[in-house]
């Protein structure tokens, strides 16, 4: 962790205050710890089990800190650096190794150095590998969480079950083998990111119910994964409560009372916790050239086709014209692909030097940014106002 990252970021009232104070010609992430805390509380108060934050979604130390301070103590991690980051910053937090494919040395270090006991698997060879690399300890405290594949749910942006997860019959065998080896067992799935159909969780829990009945094992845990959606333009998420109702109903209907339940939200916890302040470097008629793009913070606009709320930030200039127009937005790199798929609707008198606040970028933004062509967004400050998405 660099010194820059470990410092608490400077705090401002809002994007205007940041623009006035820093006059930044580089992109600036505007973190909203109060919003991250509110999102965390919504899950912690209402989810019927442990809430594991999916670290890959946004591993920035200030994001982890805001979630930790709001009460998140469990973390879904997928690599040794993620495990190390969380464990070293928060010794009382618990990390879970949720990647179904792990290097041998990585398993050993996670187990011996960081005390990880939950390992996700979706294949017999991975079960054997983890058993071999954790030979030093008692079997009874190892928990093998079997990742099941689930059918593609309508309206999800990524079908995460396409790459990982095993069939029902494979899951039955894995559960029985792991239990026969003296370990505890659980089941997990991921319905896909930005899942807009709450029923997908019910369908997946039915599959879990069939597998658990067929395997005749005692489940130590059941992990309903991530996938809970965030609000984007023309893609307002159904209320969280509908998802949680579906989870509660699915748990009861499939006989999982008394089993420890986990969820692994990423996007829904952090998307609204951060916006991005970018600057217009040049305007050519309806074309804007800005200082962040698809190789930086905004790759999800391409990969997931999401549209983000935007507004003009001009703290000291003339009042913006009431008339609006649509602009094509070009990113900073020399690659001609670096053009945002979404046109921005903004005041018609927009000009070089103006800033634009792009909201709802807390998820999969800085986590995916590259330094292609020397453009790397890495400045974080905190702001105290409400996210723009309220008005979607
Ligand atoms: C990415 C991921 C998550 C988080 O998914 P969201 O859609 O951001 O909620 C949770 N669990 C696993 C195993 C993941 O790979």
Question: What is d(CA 101, CA 78) in angstroms, rounded to the nearest whole number?
Answer: 9
Asked whether residue 292 falls in the same domain as residue 304, the answer is: yes
Ligand 1 neighbour 118 (Cβ under 6 A): no
Handedness of CA 386, 313, 58, 190 (dihedral sign): positive
Asked whether residue 261 falls in the same domain as residue 298, the answer is: no
pLDDT at 130: 98
Ligand 1 neighbour 237 (Cβ under 6 A): no
Asked whether residue 12 falls in the same domain as residue 104, the answer is: no
Question: What is d(CA 237, CA 132) in angstroms, rounded to the nearest whole number?
Answer: 44
User: Tens digit of pLDDT for each residue in 86-107?
Assistant: 999 999 999 999 999 999 999 9
Q: Is the pLDDT of residue 390 over 60?
A: no
Question: What is d(CA 150, CA 184) in angstroms, rounded to the nearest whole number?
Answer: 23
Ligand 1 neighbour 362 (Cβ under 6 A): no
Provide the pLDDT confidence category of residue 155 given band limits of 50, 70 and 90: low
Q: Is the pLDDT of residue 297 over 70?
A: yes
pLDDT at 153: 73
Tokens 């409400």, residue located:
386
Ligand 1 neighbour 267 (Cβ under 6 A): yes
User: Tens digit of pLDDT for each residue in 8-65?
Assistant: 679 999 999 999 999 999 999 999 999 999 999 999 999 999 999 999 999 999 999 9
pLDDT at 4: 47
> Distance from the CA of 53 to the center of ligand 1, in angstroms?
9
- Phi, psi values for residue 319, rounded to 5°: -60, 135
Ligand 1 neighbour 76 (Cβ under 6 A): yes
Q: Is the pLDDT of residue 273 over 90?
A: yes
pLDDT at 9: 76
Asked whether residue 58 falls in the same domain as residue 156, the answer is: yes
Handedness of CA 292, 23, 350, 391 (dihedral sign): positive
> Which residues, including other chains, have CB under 8 Å from residue 88's CB and lie 6 or more apart?
none
**What is the number of the ligand 1 atom nearest to the C-alpha of 160?**
15
Q: Is the pLDDT of residue 391 over 60?
A: no
> Distance from the CA of 225 to the center of ligand 1, in angstroms?
6
Ligand 1 neighbour 147 (Cβ under 6 A): no
Number of domains in the chain: 2
Span of 171-180, 258-267, 383-392 with lowest mean pLDDT: 383-392
> Distance from the CA of 34 to the center of ligand 1, in angstroms?
22
Asked whether residue 75 falls in the same domain as residue 190, the answer is: yes
* Full residue range of the structural domain in which residue 362 is found: 3-31+273-391
The Cβ of residue 220 has, within 10 Å, a number of other Cβ atoms equal to 17
Question: Per residue, what are the HEC states of the chain?
Answer: CCHHHHCCCCEECCHHHHHHHHCCCCCEEEECHHHHHHHHHHHHHHCCCEEEEEHHHCCCHHHHHHHHHCCCCEEEECCHHHHHHHHHHCCCCEEEECCCCCCHHHHHHHHHCCCCCEEEECCHHHHHHHHHHCCCCCHHHCEEEEEECCCCCCCCCECHHHCCCECHHHHHHHHHHHHHCCCEEEEECCCCECCCCCHHHHHHHHHHHHHHHHHCCCEEEEECCCCCCCCECCECCCCHHHHHHHHHHHHHHCCCCCCEEEECCCHHHHHHHEEEEEEEEEEECCEEEECCCCCCCCCHHHHCCCCCCEEEECCCCCCCCCCEEEEEEECCCCCCCCECCCCEEEECCCCCCCEEEECCCCCCCHHHCCCHHHCCCCEEEEECCCCHHHHC
> Distance from the CA of 160 to the center of ligand 1, in angstroms?
8
- Averaged over 193-219, what is the pLDDT? 96
Ligand 1 neighbour 56 (Cβ under 6 A): yes
Give the domain-ending residue among 215, 242, 270.
270
User: Tens digit of pLDDT for each residue in 112-131?
Assistant: 999 999 999 999 999 999 99
pLDDT at 139: 95
Give the domain-ending residue among 241, 270, 299.
270
> Distance from the CA of 60 to the center of ligand 1, in angstroms?
16
Asked whether residue 196 falls in the same domain as residue 229, the answer is: yes
Q: Is the pLDDT of residue 71 over 60?
A: yes
In angstroms, how far is the first alpha carbon of the chain from the final one? Answer: 36
CA 80 centroid distance within chain = 18
Asked whether residue 210 falls in the same domain as residue 316, the answer is: no
Ligand 1 neighbour 165 (Cβ under 6 A): no
Return the CATH number at 137. 3.20.20.10
Asked whether residue 41 falls in the same domain as residue 21, the answer is: no
**What is the number of the ligand 1 atom nearest to the C-alpha of 264?**
10
> Distance from the CA of 76 to the center of ligand 1, in angstroms?
8
> Distance from the CA of 208 to the center of ligand 1, in angstroms?
18
> Distance from the CA of 227 to the center of ligand 1, in angstroms?
6
Asked whether residue 73 falls in the same domain as residue 188, the answer is: yes
Structure tokens at 168: 């029902």
Give the domain-ending residue among 245, 270, 295.
270
Greatest CA span in the chain, whole angstroms? 73
What Rg, from alpha-carbon coordinates, does the chain have? Answer: 22
Provide the pLDDT confidence category of residue 232 given band limits of 50, 70 and 90: very high
What's the predicted TM-score (pTM) here?
A: 0.95
Asked whether residue 193 falls in the same domain as residue 292, the answer is: no
């Amino acid at each position: 962790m660099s010194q820059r990252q470990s410092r608490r970021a400077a705090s401002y009232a809002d994007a205007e205050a940041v623009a006035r104070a820093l006059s930044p010609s580089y992109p600036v992430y505007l973190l909203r710890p109060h919003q991250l805390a509110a999102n965390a509380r919504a899950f912690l108060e209402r989810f019927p089990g442990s809430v594991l934050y999916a670290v890959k979604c946004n591993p920035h130390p200030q994001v982890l800190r805001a979630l930790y301070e709001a009460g998140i103590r469990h973390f879904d991690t997928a690599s040794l650096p993620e495990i190390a980051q969380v464990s070293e910053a928060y010794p009382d937090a618990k990390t879970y190794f949720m990647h179904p494919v792990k290097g041998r040395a990585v398993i050993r270090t996670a187990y011996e150095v960081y005390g990880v006991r939950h390992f996700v698997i979706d294949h017999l060879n991975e079960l054997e590998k983890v058993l071999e690399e954790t030979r030093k300890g008692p079997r009874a405290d190892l928990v093998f969480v079997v990742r099941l594949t689930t059918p593609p749910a309508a309206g999800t942006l990524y079908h995460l079950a396409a790459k990982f997860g095993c069939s029902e019959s494979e899951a039955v065998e894995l559960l029985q083998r792991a239990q026969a080896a003296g370990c505890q067992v659980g089941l997990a799935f991921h319905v896909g990111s930005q899942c807009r159909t709450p029923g997908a969780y019910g369908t997946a829990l039915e599959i879990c119910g069939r597998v658990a009945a067929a395997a005749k094992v005692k489940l130590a845990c059941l992990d309903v994964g991530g996938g809970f959606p965030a609000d984007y333009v023309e893609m307002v998420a159904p209320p969280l409560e509908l998802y949680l109702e579906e989870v509660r109903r699915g748990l009861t209907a499939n006989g999982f009372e008394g089993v420890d339940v986990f969820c692994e939200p990423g996007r829904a916890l952090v998307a609204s916790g951060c916006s991005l302040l970018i600057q217009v470097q040049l305007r050519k008629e309806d074309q804007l050239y800005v200082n962040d793009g698809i190789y930086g913070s905004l790759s999800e606009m391409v990969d997931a086709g999401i549209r983000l709320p935007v507004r003009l930030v001009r703290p000291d200039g003339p009042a913006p014209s009431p008339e609006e127009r649509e602009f094509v937005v070009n990113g900073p790199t020399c690659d001609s692909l670096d053009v945002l798929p979404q046109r921005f609707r903004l005041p018609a008198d927009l000009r070089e030097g103006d800033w634009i606040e792009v909201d709802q970028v807390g998820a999969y933004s800085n986590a995916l940014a590259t330094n292609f062509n020397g453009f790397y967004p890495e400045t974080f400050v905190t702001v105290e106002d409400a996210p723009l998405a309220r008005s979607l």
